[in-house]
Amino acid sequence: MLDEEIHSKARAAAVRWARWRLGPLGFADLITRVDASVLRYGRLVTRYAVRTGTWAEEAYAGGTNTARSSRSTPQVSLDTLDLWSASPEALAEKSSHLAVCGDCHGAGAVTCPTCSGSLRASCSGCGGSGRRMSRARKSYRMVNCTECRGKGTKKCVRCTKGMVGCHTCRGSGTLRRWLKVSTVERTQVRAWPDAKAVSAHKGLLEDSKRALQWPGARALASAEHAGPLPGSALGDEARSAGFIAARSSLEPEFEPLRGRILSQSLDVFEAPSATVCFEFAGRPGFIHLLGRDLQPTKARDTSAFHRRVGALMGVAMAGFFGMPFLVSAFIGRHAFYAEPDQSALAMLAIFGLWPGTWWWAATALRRRRASGAKSPARWHDRIGIGLTGLCALVLAGCFLFIRPSVPELVRLTATGQLRQAELHADLLEARGESSPEYIGARNAFVLARLQGMDNRDAVKLIRHYAGSGQGTGPLEAERVKLREAWARSALERGEEAPVEAELTALSSERAPASVMDGLRAKLEDFRIAKGKAALEKGDLAEAIQVLSRIQARTLVSERPEPLITQAHLRQEHACPARDVRCRATALHAAVAVDTGETARTALASFRGAELTRMATATAHSGGLGASLRELRTADEDAGALLSVLGSDAEMTAARAAILGRREALLSNRFPLGEPVEVAQAQLGPSGLEMQRSDVFRVVDAPPGTLTYLFVAQGMTRGLYVTAPDHGQAGLSPAALQIAAKRFTGQEFAAKDLVHAGKGVAHVTVRLGRHTALLGWHDDTLVEAQMGRVEP
């Protein structure tokens, strides 16, 4: 092959290689040199085996050892033993010997892991604690474990004198050991002079026959030998190709006593090659080609391509994030710039900046050389800078010269293009335009824009343009009309909230008083009518709520006070007869509104009747329980009346008489053995909590106790006292004395609170006129029953 032909083929192959890697346009111009030659190379295929040895062992079960019958160290050293000196079976037989077991040191027995040689194991019944839960007679208390008798340990049944047989040697104390050898075969293929430079040769590094048939190369020599390839088998081709110098790097690496070469084969080839050198992106590079078709190999320097890709990706990412910024910078100034007529040209310029800048960067990288000079420019190198400059000028013009004007606002208003006119007016208003021409044009536009708009949208539009206060008189007058019309339509729909909102807005906008008074009068008359309708339907709460919202009572056609008083009096008649709070609240509210004597007379009559009923309850002469019930009801009613009516001397005196009567009835009485009303009065309204119909739990029990009160036929018959954690802790005698004193007025004798004995016992004692039963567990007080306690 001629040098000129190799040079031309190498250049064409390098251009194809660059094109498939997205190389720059005109890559052929960046090639600086082509070096062509004939490359001699080869490969060495080595098949070798590696042996590894490990010591295997098993329990010695008796008999004669094949190597020695005595226990001793082996005569074979694994570090210096040649594993290829004999077969694996022969090495195993030769190295077999007896050795002392390392776990038991030849004793045949080891310390018991369960009891650690102490002959005492942890009890499985109680987990080693010595205590377990007893369920006898449902007492649920902790007792001594029956298996270990409370000691937590018991005799170990797994060992003999703290020792068990060794598992490793099965009690013999001796192990048989031998050398176990394993063999692994491997194949290694290596090429010279450089694996990357010959990577285009198909199958060369795969130990494949395709390497001998590759059309790009010619086989010069081939040799194969069982074992290491001898020097006599090497021909002149192998020597001239540099195999002698490269052989040490081609041989496999293994330990001499562990590995062995089984066979080696050598192949030597010759093929045309070329190295194409280039410069771009400020760096030099090369690509090595091999074979008749000059196929690219892995021996190349492509750092310039990587630099170019990184730079272009950076430009692309900067444009990706920069385009939204420029778009928002133009359109975000005002809605005026978002219209298609204003924004279309700017968007085209922004979108053109991205590819223009990218092309400009790609051109600069292609022309840059390692020496700092630049390669000659081509026609397409001007596309990037031209597109970038043009788009930048257009974008700058959009920022500088697109703006609204008063003549354009007048023209658009006259032609009926109100949507476009609104953009001009809005931007001029935001800039603070205050010329007379603008004020006239703005007012004309706003009045024209209001035609056909929704009432609320029209008010918002006027509020937007009336904020400056310059020449906004016509706009404010139109806004008052719109608000008045909206309020009247809301009254026709029966809605009050929109009317109040419009009145508040008119007040803040300083609307004429005549307009506001007219709307207020219509709103109050509407409320009067609505209140009367609610009274006729019997919806008293609604009527009071509606009539109480009337603010300007001088503008209404009818006074609301008589209607409100009538509603409160009817509320009082609708209250339940014994709901004194409801009746007193209605009468008190009627008196606060009524200017006449009707409500006052009704309240005085109600108050006198309640005072008479309280006096009757104070003088009640029935049984103790009935008297306490009457007094409790009268006290609750008196408290409710005082909270509504405020300070009342007669009512306060009546309540004091009720409390005095109750104190007299409760004097020298205790909760146990009395009507249940006595316990409720002494313990308070929240002192008892019903568990069932005949059992109450004492909420405010003495500290350290759990107390229950038993009731039968309206009388308290018994008291049960125990500890809160019953079954785990005893009852404190001091806490029991407090409970007995509080509920019976008596205390236990000191001798009754002492007990000596074993097991569970219930001891009967006396507590004044009550019989008590004390429950003991050994010498611990568990519970106490006073009176009759049902199970």
- The span from the CA of 746 to the CA of 743, in Å, is 8
Query: Looking at residue 460, what is its pLDDT?
Result: 93
Q: What is the DSSP string of 433-454?
A: ---HHHHHHHHHHHHHHTTT--
DSSP H/E element including 222:
strand 218-226
Biggest alpha carbon–alpha carbon distance for the chain: 144
559 pLDDT higher than 90: no
Q: What is the DSSP string of 650-695?
A: HHHHHHHHHHHHHHHHHTT--STTSBHHHHHHHH-TTSEEEEETTE
Average pLDDT over residues 491-496: 90
Which tens digit of pLDDT belongs to each residue from 448-480?
Answer: 999 989 999 999 999 988 877 788 888 988 999
What number of CA atoms fall less than 13 Å from residue 478's CA on the CB side?
A: 22
As a whole number, the mean pLDDT across the chain is 87
The DSSP 8-state label assigned to residue 730 in this structure reads P
Nearest alpha-carbon partner for 464 in 451, 446, 487: 446
Which tens digit of pLDDT belongs to each residue from 133-164?
Answer: 676 655 566 778 878 887 888 888 888 888 88
Query: Looking at residue 68, what is its pLDDT?
Result: 39
- The span from the CA of 512 to the CA of 518, in Å, is 10
Tell me the CA distances in angstroms from 149 to 126, 627, 683, 758, one per residue in order: 10, 62, 48, 17
Buried/exposed 364-399: b ≥16 CB within 10 Å, e otherwise: bbbbbbeeeeeeeeeeebeebeebbeebeebbeebe
40 pLDDT higher than 80: yes
Per-residue tokens: 582: 């409801």
Average pLDDT over residues 719-730: 87
Which tens digit of pLDDT belongs to each residue from 566-622?
Answer: 888 888 888 888 888 898 888 888 888 876 788 888 888 888 988 888 888 888 877
Query: Looking at residue 137, what is its pLDDT?
Result: 56
- The span from the CA of 544 to the CA of 224, in Å, is 118
* Cβ atoms < 10 Å from Cβ of 756: 7
Query: Looking at residue 692, what is its pLDDT?
Result: 87
Query: Looking at residue 65, what is its pLDDT?
Result: 45
652 pLDDT higher than 80: yes
Per-residue tokens: 402: 């697109």
Query: Looking at residue 785, what is its pLDDT?
Result: 92
Alpha helices (H) in 493-539, listed in sequence order: 497-508, 513-537
Q: Which band of pLDDT confidence, cut at 50, 70 and 90, is reported for residue 706?
A: very high
63 pLDDT higher than 90: no
Which tens digit of pLDDT belongs to each residue from 309-344?
Answer: 888 899 999 999 999 999 999 988 888 898 888 888
Which of these ranges, 173-177, 233-237, 404-408, has the smallest mean pLDDT?
Answer: 233-237
494 pLDDT higher than 50: yes
Which of these ranges, 43-52, 262-271, 294-303, 370-379, has the smallest mean pLDDT?
Answer: 370-379
